[in-house]
Amino acid sequence: MTTTATKQTITTQTPQPEQPRASLALASDPSKALRLSPTFQPDVDLLTAEGLIAFGVKGSGKSNLLALLVEQLGRFLLPQLIIRCFPTGCSPARAGVPAALTSSTRACR
């Protein structure tokens, strides 16, 4: 009994570094894009038509998201009303809010 061995050549490709994937949230018209991040620039019409709600644990960036949205929506001259509730025992004056911008110093409930 004779055994023959065949030599197989295996070619492997060197893995390429993973390229960042582009988000699908890019406005079709760049002039209407909300510039929230390099890969997340939704159309302003989408946000104003659908709305937005943000939930998260303390320190997860909800206030930063709101500040960025207010800044970006300001580019389109949209009317905005921002209501800030203060915890019980904390008045807007203690938080550094000018008296002219507050209608009441009571806490929101």
Per-residue pLDDT reduced to its tens digit, 44-57: 988 888 888 888 89
Name which of 36, 50, 44 is nearest 73 in CA terms: 44
Residue 2 three-state SS: coil
Give me the pLDDT at residue 19, please.
Answer: 66
Q: Is the confidence at residue 105, as pLDDT, over 50?
A: no
Residue 89 pLDDT grade (very low, low, confident, very high; cuts 50, 70, 90): low
Tokens of 86: 């203060």
Q: What burial letters (b/e) apply to 29-58, b meaning 16+ CB within 10 Å?
A: eeeebbebeeeebbbbeebeeeeeeeeeee
Cα–Cα distance for residue pair 99/54, rounded to 1 Å? 28
Spell out the domain ranges in the chain.
30-78, 85-109
Mean pLDDT value of segment 32-54? 86
Rounded Cα gap, residues 105 and 88, in angstroms:
10
